[in-house]
Chains A and B, each alone.
Chain A
Amino acid sequence: GAGVSQSPSNKVTEKGKDVELRCDPISGHTALYWYRQRLGQGLEFLIYFQGNSAPDKSGLPSDRFSAERTGESVSTLTIQRTQQEDSAVYLCASSRKAGRVTHFSSYNEQFFGPGTRLTVL
C-alpha cells in the first residue's frame, strides 16, 4: 500500500516569504507527527495530531510555525516569514494510533515520509 507522502520534495525560498509543506499520511492512521531535521542532526519534534483532538504544539519553535490537519487526512505545515535558520528537512510521520506503549510489538511504529528539504536563502 501507499506510504506517507510529502510535497514538495524540495523547496527553495527567499527569507521573509511564507511556505506551506504538505503531508499525506497512510490511510487509517489516526496519529500524525511533524519533525524537523537540521543538517547532521537528529529529528526534533514539532507538532502532533491525533484524530479530532487538540494538537500538541509543544515542539513548535516559534509562532511563525503552524500546522493544520482536517480529520485524519492531509496535514499542512506553514512557516511564515521564513528565516535562514528554518532551513532543514521537514519530516512527517503517521502511526495507527498513539496510545500507551504496548508490549512485544512495534504497534507504536511511526512511518515516515521522504521529507521536504527547505532552503531559505
Chain B
Amino acid sequence: NAGVTQTPKFQVLKTGQSMTLQCAQDMNHNSMYWYRQDPGMGLRLIYYSASEGTTDKGEVPNGYNVSRLNKREFSLRLESAAPSQTSVYFCASRLRGFGYTFGSGTRLTVV
C-alpha cells in the first residue's frame, strides 16, 4: 500500500547509545518531516526537508541529525540518546498543495 513507512515500530536504548530511525515514502512527495509527540504537547517539529538535498531545523532539533538520502527516504539519527528523547516519533510527507501523510510512529524509550 502506498504511504509512509517507519522502522522500527518500537525501540529501547540505553543512555548514550546511538540509533537511526528510518522513514520512506512511495508517493513521490517533495517534503518530508520528523515530529516527536509528547503528552500534552502535541507534535513538535524536529527537522524537515523541503526537497531532496535540503534539510532544515524545526522547533526541537537539539540532539538529532537527519539525512535526506533521496526523494523517498528521510532518516533521523540520535547520536547519543538521552532519557529526554523518550517519545513517539512520526515521519510525514507532503506534496505541495495537498495534505500530509503520516507514518504509524516509532515508540522510543531511553533508559
Q: Are A and B genuine complex partners?
A: no
Residues of A within 8 A of B (CB): none
